[in-house]
Amino acid sequence: MIPRNTSLGFISPIDPVADINVIQDLTNTSNHIFSEHPSLFSCVHCNVPFSSETTLYDHLLECCNKHLTCTTRIISNLVEHITDPVKQRKVYLLLHQYYQLFDNSCFKGIYCSPQHAINTDSHSPLAEHPRRTSFFNKQLIASEVKKMLDNGIISPSHSPWASPVVIVKKRDGSPRFCIDFRRLNSISRKDVYPLPRIDDVIEKLNGSTIFSKLDLRSGYFQVPLAADERDKTAFITTDGLWQFNRLPQGLKNSPSVFQRLMNQ
């Protein structure tokens, strides 16, 4: 609930004489993403050169129809709402320049040094028993553990630490796999790195006419966790003990660690 008279930002009128076409201006950037040099129009998949971006676009669409991969399907869906065919083609080719970013066939993390997120000083390990749950939830837990194990997010553990797994309901009623790190958080030092305020973020949008958003897939899981802190993230199920190799959700300092990386 937002209190009355709360200011979320400022609205200013759009200059009627301004006619800015951000998509069209992509050809004039210093990066020369769409350079007129023919050799730069080549397929990122088969390296076949093309004389223009139009012929390259047609080639990519043909490949997409014949060999529809997860990445090409995602990129096609992202530009589907653009009604102008010229702008749609330019955005499609731009996204294909960085097609690896849209590949969700396997989990890939960011390239950074392992991050420290847990400082418990000399406190002795805390361990809890696995909590009783329904047969359906046990299947859900086993499925999530297998998925994280296959992606290298967790590993089997022999840690003296152990936090329990809990299944909570999302707003839509679907279940969510969570780790109850409350006891670990209670003995961890707080990282006071500042988080952005939503009203400041909204205020920065003042005067903008074109908006876009970028969401990192499982953002915390992309951040490697320092090896000497991984045993503290151990969680226990009825089937075993596991620990995180990457920054888990639910830790007191995960937001601060992640925000510091984003600002860098």
CATH of the domain at 169: 3.10.10.10
DSSP string, 151-185: TTSEEE---S-BEEEEEEE-TTS-EEEEE--HHHH
> What's residue 41's pLDDT?
65
DSSP β-ladder status, 163-169 and 235-237: parallel
Q: How far is it, in rounded angstroms, from Cα 123 to Cα 125?
A: 7
> What's residue 205's pLDDT?
87
In a domain, 118, yes or no: no
Q: Pick out the chain residues at pLDDT < 50.
A: 14-39, 67-68
**Based on the structure, what is the number of domains in the chain?**
2
By residue range, what is the domain housing residue 28? Answer: 24-102
Domain boundary among 102, 118, 146: 102
Q: How far is it, in rounded angstroms, from Cα 169 to Cα 183?
A: 21
> What's residue 258's pLDDT?
92
pLDDT tens track for 8-46 = 555 555 444 444 333 334 344 434 334 344 445 666 666
**One domain for residues 173 and 244:** yes
**One domain for residues 151 and 91:** no
Q: What is the token pair recorded at 223?
A: 């951040």
> What strand order describes the sheet that includes 175-179?
154-156, 240-244, 235-237, 163-169, 175-179
> What's residue 31's pLDDT?
40
pLDDT tens track for 240-264 = 999 999 999 999 999 999 999 888 8
> What's residue 4's pLDDT?
63
